[in-house]
Amino acid sequence: MYEIEMDEMTEGFFPCWKAAGMHLSSKVDGGIQSWLRAHYWNAPGSSSRVYGGGFQYKARQAQLRTLEAIDSQQHSYDYTARQTYRGIYGSAFPS
């Protein structure tokens, strides 16, 4: 596996992230909301599964905060966008 350093987000990150979400939504019958109601979810980056309904609320909140961060980035509020992403992904998110 390759080590990838992420010091700064590039201009292409946000359109790519948004396109990935739209692509995944189009691949699931009923869109993203249907996927969020699934019995379990595969946790990103691991082979574990997440069970239960509490995940739906947290996933929706993360989605809304991600949209806020994208909007901040598009309006050149880089610091605000970074802080919003850190609230979602933790303090290890690139500063």
Any domain includes 67: yes
Any domain includes 15: no
Residue 14 and residue 74 in contact, taking contact as beta carbons nearer than 8 Å: yes
**Euclidean distance between CA atoms 44 and 91, whole angstroms:** 18
Half-sphere exposure for 92 (CA within 13 Å, toward CB): 2
- For 24-81, the pLDDT digits (tens) are 777 666 666 666 666 676 766 666 777 666 667 777 888 899 999 999 999 989 899 8
Any domain includes 10: no
Burial class (CB in 10 A: 0-12, 13-18, 19+), 81: buried
Domain count, the chain: 1
pLDDT at site 44:
67
Any domain includes 47: no
Give the count of beta carbons closer than 10 Å to the beta carbon of residue 84. Answer: 21
- Dmax (CA) for the chain in angstroms is 39
Over residues 10-23, mean pLDDT: 79
